[in-house]
Amino acid sequence: MPASPSPEPQAGRLTLERLALDHRDADNRPFRLFEMPELTLQSGARLGVSGPSGCGKSSLLHLVAGLLRPSQGRVLWNSSVVSELAEAGRDRWRRETIGFVFQDFHLIPELDIAANIALPARFSAWRLGAAGQERAAALARRMGLPDPRRRAALLSRGEQQRVAIARALFARPALILADEPTASLDAAHAAGVADLLLEAAAESGATLICATHDPALLARFDRRVDLTQTVQRRAA
């Protein structure tokens, strides 16, 4: 069957229960990257995550998405304990719930802009329907990418960033995770991308969590977490 984006996200409450993540240093010595007390985000909440490089901002997003398992604590979506699901269950939940703006984009260079934006639909069907094609083209235009048939390999880093953001919004996810979404953009384009992320989340009622070094973007979030406040120390 042709694939079309879901008309509405499946609203949910995200809860992080005493979350912690352990890593090992270059000498294979264990240390605790961060700890976080209980945090609950109702549907539609906006959370900005700040802190210096290496403090665990990306890791926190990966924990929320089920790409990493916590060393301690749990991640819940409504009553479902996502962090305890088997890999197939976490993959399915992520596909149905999350739009992820990765810091490294993860575009396919051989595909054009529209095809990269519509990649989420390819995981559930072999052919993209007309509604999906139009949504991909509309998102490209909204992101300031007027030629949706241009190959990703020919794009600047800033253009790739905008394609990655449009792809995360394609399926109208209930939970949007953005890892440094304005890092490759100048001030004017960064403000435009921030507008799109916040507007898209508000329009669909999605929860938005954004890890960023950008103080202008961070200031636009009504809730903020500074991971600098979580002390890195050796794990017991």
Which of 16, 69, 62, 64 lies closest to 39 in space, CA to CA?
Answer: 16
Give the chain's count of helices (H) and strands (E). 8, 12
pTM: 0.88
So what's the pLDDT on residue 127? 63
So what's the pLDDT on residue 121? 82
So what's the pLDDT on residue 40? 96
CA distance 119 to 111: 10
pLDDT in tens, the chain (236 residues): 344 444 455 679 999 999 999 988 889 898 888 888 899 999 999 999 999 888 899 999 999 999 999 999 999 999 999 999 999 999 999 999 999 999 888 999 999 999 999 998 876 655 678 888 899 999 999 888 989 999 999 998 888 988 998 999 998 899 999 999 988 788 888 888 888 889 888 988 899 999 999 999 999 998 999 988 765 554 44
Judge contact between 128 and 121, C-beta under 8 A: yes
Structure tokens at 118: 């519509």
So what's the pLDDT on residue 231? 52
So what's the pLDDT on residue 123? 63
CA distance 234 to 57: 19
So what's the pLDDT on residue 54? 86
Judge contact between 32 and 61, C-beta under 8 A: no
In this structure, the dihedral spanned by the alpha carbons of residues 28, 30, 33 and 39, taken in order and rounded to 10 degrees, is: 140
Give the Å distances, CA to CA, from 175 to 43, 119, 122, 204.
Answer: 8, 17, 19, 10
Catalogue all structural domains in the chain, each as residue range(s) with its CATH number: 13-229 (3.40.50.300)
So what's the pLDDT on residue 6? 45
Judge contact between 211 and 54, C-beta under 8 A: no
